[in-house]
Amino acid sequence: MKTVISKDGTTIAYDQTGQGTPLVTVGGAMGWRKFSGAVELAELLAPHFTVINYDRRGRGDSTDTKPYAMQREIEDIEALIAAAGGQASLYGMSSGAALALHAAASGLNIKKLALYEPPFVGVDKSEYQPPQDYREHTQALIDADQRSAAVHYFMCKVIGMPSVMGWVMRFMPMWKDLKSTAHTLPYDMAIMNGFDLPTAAAAKINTPTIVIGGEKSPASLRKAVSATADVIPNAQRKFLAKQSHNVSMKVLAPALIEFFQVS
């Protein structure tokens, strides 16, 4: 484990593997660097890049500093890029893709940008939409230390996962990890800002970009992928066969390798 100190004094923990062009991976809601998927992806990418797999603030071995603001997370990425030599490519997953988008729009020295299913489901209001008070309700559950309830509410009411799936996941080993980072859910909700596509920010990006989705993902996410690619200048889009939001890292990695390696 390595660490960097962000602009506001927050310690950001990360693992660095491989060699070659630096590549920072940005996890989604409740994710942290020791999640099996994050570890597997880093291992698959390490033969081709110097992979920086980090804990977003408030998760894992990273510390936290109040009050929260998305700009602080952008500064965390900036500190990681500086530690990597001043320039890096960036990959973001789900709400981590939204954060990566905003980081690129802010002008950080990002060589290439890859986004997997940024959940801007607000692009089509006819598709599933979270309850209007989802941010207040989630915060109330966290304030009451009802972490399991907060995770279940986020997955089933905010994201739209079938309720039965949420209950089944409570008995899976990963539930403990999700509970441990549940207090950071408001951070991702602030980044998503109503799940609307941040067209003004996206239009500022001049970094070569690819937006990736799964062919089996819900229509709302597939529409979000296409809309995001449409608004980022010269962005590519790619849909992976037989994949959903819970993408196979063995399928995702080759697509990332191909994109990041092409000059």
Under 8 Å CB-to-CB from 60, ≥6 apart: which residues?
13, 32, 33, 34, 181
Confidence of residue 168 (pLDDT cuts 50, 70, 90): confident
Interval 125-134 mean pLDDT: 88
d(CA 235, CA 70): 24
Q: Would the pLDDT of 39 be above 80?
A: yes
**pLDDT the model gives residue 116:** 98
Q: What are phi and psi of 63, to 5 degrees?
A: -90, -170
% residues pLDDT > 90 (the chain): 89
pLDDT tens, 230-251? 999 999 999 999 999 999 999 9
Question: Can you give the residue ranges of every domain in the chain?
Answer: 2-125+195-261, 134-188
pLDDT recorded at residue 47? 97
What is the pLDDT of the chain when averaged over all its residues? 95
Q: Which residues have CB under 8 Å from 194's CB, separation 6+?
A: 122
pLDDT above 80 for 257: yes
| 108 and 81 Cβ atoms separated by less than 8 Å | yes
| Dihedral sign from CA coordinates of 160, 165, 171, 173 | negative
Query: How confident is the model over 183-221, as pLDDT tens digits?
Result: 999 999 999 999 999 999 999 999 999 999 999 999 999
How far apart, in whole angstroms, are the C-alpha atoms of residue 253 and residue 218?
21
Q: Rounded distance, CA 97 to CA 99, Å? A: 5
Q: Which of 53, 21, 59 has its CA nearest to residue 37?
A: 53
Average pLDDT over residues 147-173: 87
Closest by CA to 30, choosing from 191, 184, 146, is 184
Q: What are the pLDDT digits (tens) for 84-118?
A: 999 999 999 999 999 999 999 999 999 999 999 99
Maximum Cα–Cα distance for the chain, whole Å?
50
Q: Domain 2-125+195-261's class? A: alpha beta
Nearest to 211 by CA among 187, 227, 194: 227
Do residues 257 and 89 lie in contact, with contact meaning Cβ atoms separated by under 8 Å? Answer: no
Does position 263 have pLDDT exceeding 70, yes or no? Answer: no
